[in-house]
Amino acid sequence: MKTSSARKLKQVSLADIPRVGPGTPAGEWLRKYWFVVSAAEELYDIPKAVKVLGEELVLFRDLNGRLGLVGLHCPHRGTSLEYGDIEDRGIRCPYHGWLFDVSGQCLEQPAEPKDSIFCQKVKHLSYPVQELGGLIFAYLGPQPAPPLPRYSCLVDRGGMRQIEPVRTNDYNWFNFFENSADPCHICILHRHTGYGEQAWGDQFFSYTDMPDFQFVETDYGMKGVMTKPGPTPGTEFVDTMSLALPSIIQVGDTEFVHAKVDAVKLMTEGSQCEHVLFLTPNDDEHFTIYTVNYYTGSDPQFFEKLKAMRAAEVPKQEVKAYDSRKYMPFKGNVRQEDIMSQSTQGLLGEREERLATSDKGVIMFRRIVREAIAAAQKGERPKGVVPQEKASEVVYFDSFTGVRKAR
Ligand code: FES
Ligand SMILES: [Fe+2]
């Protein structure tokens, strides 16, 4: 007999997952969540064109400080509002001067007769926008909008926050996301990155002696827990990574692999940096990564050290004079290694695959995502959408990394 979960899943195929446009199964599911549309620091006093879930939009802050996200093309005759003028009450199209407030309401049409009330009838596409912890989020779905989750890395809790430079990649967002459910690639693809020079060493992510990988479904999505026997009997080394719906990855081992900090302290106290990647699918072929580090440890130089280590991680691969392969060189830089692997995969559901035992995290995660899409289709609350009664609660993801009592 089929379980109700299996019945629900029949309506959602793997090929549905990577497509984000309006009206698609995943596109409708994703429109239940808030997405980052800009780092606050990268929104200046000019309009900013952004593409989110396949929709072309323009983000701005009016001179009264209100954030607006409206359709890119003016509803009059289509000129791009990216070139508009920002005013006290909103954004003005440069072509014929129609003025729109942050709700999309047209307020002025200078070329219309003085007694015209036509502008009252023009309501441009607009979406709600909110700022939290240095990131600007937007909600593109049906009203009422759920609460913007109070993600722990964006809430001030006595630590230090750093927002890294924003990155955009030109392949499908889900290849990046589900890569975090595939930790064995760390021991293989990333073995060139010189983890041995850092606190975790290459002993944990060893090519010849890989850690044990377990995957646990959580209320926010899934976590991958990697373990090895610890330094003393009854202890274990643990490295945890969380995948939170709709598109957030929290990594715990950043200090262990990218920062030269006190190794003994790291082992005894565990990770104190939440390294969080918020992915925003721009369309089916592009996504943007907003990266936040929230550090609660005692090293005031932590972000500087992290930056210096990242800068030192340059590809160390020889490129022959006749080698014109697009992603060369990639070996020696984690991010380049990931980009090469993920961007050459093709779209999930279209590519041929032969999944193996070591793909159990990927298999589990795809099931969780398909269930979330099915829940959205049925009008239920998918994982990761915060219910109204929990609006004020801080949302934590598990990424414990360090040594603990063996379980
Ligand atoms: S096209 Fe924008 S006001 Fe005419
Ligand atoms: Fe990777």
Taking only the tens place, the pLDDT of each residue in 168-185 is 999 999 999 999 999 999
Mean pLDDT check: name the lowest of 162-176, 185-199, 220-234, 260-274. 185-199
In this structure, how many other beta carbons lie within 10 angstroms of the beta carbon of residue 247?
25
- Ligand 1 nearest-atom number relative to CA 98: 3
- Ligand 1 nearest-atom number relative to CA 81: 2
Q: Which residues surround ligand 2, an ion (CB under 5 A)?
A: 338
Write the DSSP assignment of 99-148 as a string of letters.
EE-TT-BEEE-TTS-TT--GGGG-B--EE-EEEETTEEEEE-SSSSPPPP
What does the alpha-carbon distance between residue 137 and residue 2 come to, in Å, rounded to a whole number? Answer: 39
Tell me the CA–centroid distance for residue 119 and ligand 2, in Å: 51
- Ligand 1 nearest-atom number relative to CA 97: 3
pLDDT beyond 60 at 2: no
CATH number at residue 284: 3.90.380.10
Determine the 3-state secondary structure of 7 from DSSP: helix
Q: Is the bond leading into 75 cis (omega within 30 degrees of zero)?
A: no
pLDDT given at position 8: 60
Burial tier of 337 (Cβ tally within 10 Å: 0-12, 13-18, 19+): buried
More confident residue, 163 or 266: 163
**3: which residues sit within 8 A by CB, 6+ positions away?**
none
H or E stretch covering 310: helix 302-312
pLDDT given at position 263: 67
Q: What's the predicted TM-score (pTM) here? A: 0.95
In the chain, the number of structural domains is 2
pLDDT beyond 90 at 315: no
Confidence of residue 97 (pLDDT cuts 50, 70, 90): very high
Does residue 93's CB lie within 6 angstroms of at least one atom of ligand 1? yes
Angle at 114 between CA 110 and CA 118, to 5 degrees: 70
Residue 66 domain boundaries: 34-139
Average pLDDT over residues 4-11: 65
Within a domain: 25: no
Give backbone dihedrals phi and psi of 318, rounded to 5 degrees, phi first.
-70, 135
Encode pLDDT of 326-348 as tens digits: 999 999 888 999 999 999 999 99
- Ligand 1 nearest-atom number relative to CA 79: 1
Query: What tokens does 92 get?
Result: 């003005």
pLDDT beyond 80 at 245: yes
What does the alpha-carbon distance between residue 112 and residue 117 come to, in Å, rounded to a whole number? Answer: 9
Same domain, 231 and 182: yes
Within a domain: 16: no
Does residue 74's CB lie within 6 angstroms of at least one atom of ligand 1? yes
Q: Is the bond leading into 329 cis (omega within 30 degrees of zero)?
A: yes
Within a domain: 174: yes
Encode pLDDT of 265-274 as tens digits: 777 788 899 9
Determine the 3-state secondary structure of 316 from DSSP: coil
Residue with CA nearest ligand 1 atom 3:
96
- 84 alpha carbon, closest ligand: 1
Does residue 80's CB lie within 6 angstroms of at least one atom of ligand 1? no
Same domain, 212 and 358: yes
On average, the pLDDT of the chain sits at 93
Does residue 339's CB lie within 6 angstroms of at least one atom of ligand 1? no
Does residue 83's CB lie within 6 angstroms of at least one atom of ligand 1? no
Same domain, 193 and 107: no
What does the alpha-carbon distance between residue 308 and residue 302 come to, in Å, rounded to a whole number? Answer: 10
- 78 alpha carbon, closest ligand: 1
- Identity of the amino acid at 302: F
Within a domain: 29: no
Confidence of residue 114 (pLDDT cuts 50, 70, 90): very high
- 337 alpha carbon, closest ligand: 2
Tell me the CA–centroid distance for residue 210 and ligand 2, in Å: 15
What 3 state SS string does 136-148 have?
Answer: EEEECCCCCCCCC
Question: Which of 106, 139, 172 is where one domain is finished?
Answer: 139
Tell me the CA–centroid distance for residue 37 and ligand 2, in Å: 24
Same domain, 217 and 357: yes
Tell me the CA–centroid distance for residue 282 and ligand 1, in Å: 25
Same domain, 216 and 360: yes
Same domain, 194 and 71: no
Within a domain: 389: yes
Average pLDDT over residues 393-405: 95
What does the alpha-carbon distance between residue 184 and residue 174 come to, in Å, rounded to a whole number? Answer: 18
What does the alpha-carbon distance between residue 382 and residue 404 come to, in Å, rounded to a whole number? Answer: 33
Encode pLDDT of 372-381 as tens digits: 999 999 999 9
Within a domain: 144: no
Pocket test for ligand 1, best of 58, 79, 124 (most atoms within 8 A of CB): 79
Does residue 162's CB lie within 6 angstroms of at least one atom of ligand 1? no
- Ligand 1 nearest-atom number relative to CA 77: 1
Q: Are 399 and 241 in contact (CB under 8 A)?
A: yes
Tell me the CA–centroid distance for residue 92 and ligand 1, in Å: 9
Residue with CA nearest ligand 1 atom 4:
96
Give backbone dihedrals phi and psi of 322, rounded to 5 degrees, phi first.
-95, 5
Mean pLDDT check: name the lowest of 149-153, 195-199, 217-221. 195-199
Tell me the CA–centroid distance for residue 207 and ligand 2, in Å: 14
pLDDT given at position 7: 58
pLDDT beyond 80 at 124: yes
Q: Are 362 and 182 in contact (CB under 8 A)?
A: yes
Write the DSSP assignment of 335-349 as a string of letters.
HHHHHHHHHTS--TT
CATH number at residue 90: 2.102.10.10
Pocket test for ligand 1, best of 70, 72, 83, 93 (most atoms within 8 A of CB): 93
Does residue 95's CB lie within 6 angstroms of at least one atom of ligand 1? yes
H or E stretch covering 8: helix 4-10
Same domain, 210 and 291: yes
Query: What tokens does 110 get?
Result: 């200078």
Same domain, 274 and 400: yes
pLDDT given at position 206: 86
pLDDT beyond 50 at 1: no
Same domain, 177 and 224: yes
Q: Are 252 and 271 in contact (CB under 8 A)?
A: yes
Confidence of residue 119 (pLDDT cuts 50, 70, 90): very high
Q: Please state whether beta strands 394-395 and 150-151 pair in parallel, antiparallel, or not at all (unpaired).
A: parallel
Tell me the CA–centroid distance for residue 365 and ligand 2, in Å: 16
Same domain, 270 and 390: yes
Confidence of residue 198 (pLDDT cuts 50, 70, 90): low
Does residue 265's CB lie within 6 angstroms of at least one atom of ligand 1? no
